[in-house]
Amino acid sequence: MEINLSIDANLVRKVLKEFIRSEITRVGFSRAVINLSGGVDSAVSFGLSAEALGPENVLAIRCPYKTSSPDSLKHAQILIDQFGCPSVTIPITDMVDPLITLGPGMSEIRKGNIMARARMIVAYDQSAAFEGLVIGTGNKTEILLGYTTLYGDSACALNPIGDLYKTQVRQMAQALEIPDAIIAKPPSADLWTGQTDEGELGFSYAEVDKLLYLLVDQRYHPEECVEAGFSEKFIRLVYERVRRNQFKRVLPPIAKLSGRTVGYDFLYLRDWGT
């Protein structure tokens, strides 16, 4: 079965730039900050933000850890130069290591979550200093699979690429003329030496994007995905990941006691005067 994830990149670019402008300005801001990793996702969010708000109004933040790949800093600098935005580099090693030393034998995942949350602490501190909102960099594939750190890289004020699968983010990167070296390199959160997204997940983004498109966008039942050519084992693995990570995609549930409860009845923009 042929599954086409192609997008009209120029139209999407226009829509997302207006989304960024609208969401930033309607709450009284004109600036934004973004953790720029040197990867394709943050590159696309960064490029769109710079075009939407003006490069002088977007602060790029680099937060290297002692084991971070030198390419991450280099590629982030290429993007900073390309879009002409101000930047700041704040190493997180001295923030992270004291906590890691309290947990002898700590797993790489725990360490990685600490790093992700430390980077978001930096982003929100810089958002106060720069007077700008934090732009998210998580794509639809990561959000659905729960491949994100809660209150770490998932924390943001708005996310322009959260409805684009990884495959589609790469198409946007080409439209924004992001360098090929950034688009083509193996996706990585750069949380430990040699770490890659696809290595941790156990499958490729190209493969899982097509399955997620059928399950989510087309509302296929798992049995129909088998008929479309996917293995039952792969479908069960992905389906279960999406199901069990729902808690990462919603605000913490509140026990309902009144007639107007946040998250249940108090839901709409008009509720707070927009």
Model pTM score: 0.92
What whole-number distance in Å separates Cα of residue 175 and Cα of residue 197?
23
Question: Higher confidence at residue 188 or residue 260?
Answer: 260
Going by DSSP bridges, is the β-strand pair 133-134/32-35 parallel, antiparallel, or unpaired? parallel
Please report whether residue 141 resides in a domain.
yes
What whole-number distance in Å separates Cα of residue 52 and Cα of residue 102?
43
- Give DSSP secondary structure letters for 224-269: HHHHTT--HHHHHHHHHHHHHTGGGGSPPP----SSS-BTTTB-SG
Write the CB contacts of 274 (distance below 8 Å, at least 6 apart in sequence).
26
Q: Check residue 187 and report its DSSP letter.
A: P
Amino acid in position 16: L
Assess whether pLDDT exceeds 80 at residue 131: yes
Q: What is the largest CA-CA distance in the chain?
A: 54
Which of 175, 180, 170, 179 has the alpha carbon at shortest distance from 139? Answer: 170
What whole-number distance in Å separates Cα of residue 81 and Cα of residue 112?
28
Please report whether residue 259 resides in a domain.
no
Residue 34: its H or E element: strand 32-35
Please report whether residue 153 resides in a domain.
yes
Into how many domains does the chain fold? 1
**pLDDT tens digits, residue range 214-252?**
999 999 999 999 999 999 999 999 999 999 999 999 989
Q: Look up the CATH number of the domain holding residue 62.
A: 3.40.50.620
The predicted pLDDT at position 50 comes to 98
Please report whether residue 183 resides in a domain.
yes
What whole-number distance in Å separates Cα of residue 174 and Cα of residue 177?
5
Assess whether pLDDT exceeds 80 at residue 15: yes
**pLDDT tens digits, residue range 82-130?**
999 999 999 999 999 999 999 889 999 999 999 999 999 999 999 999 9
Assess whether pLDDT exceeds 70 at residue 194: no
Residue 31 structural domain: 9-197
| Mean of the per-residue pLDDT values of the chain | 93
Please report whether residue 271 resides in a domain.
no
Instruction: Give the confidence band of 36 by pLDDT, cuts at 50, 70, 90.
Output: very high
Please report whether residue 254 resides in a domain.
no
- Give DSSP secondary structure letters for 23-37: HHHTTT---EEEE--
Cβ contact 175:13 at 8 Å: yes
Please report whether residue 206 resides in a domain.
no
Which of 203, 204, 211, 209 has the alpha carbon at shortest distance from 229? Answer: 211
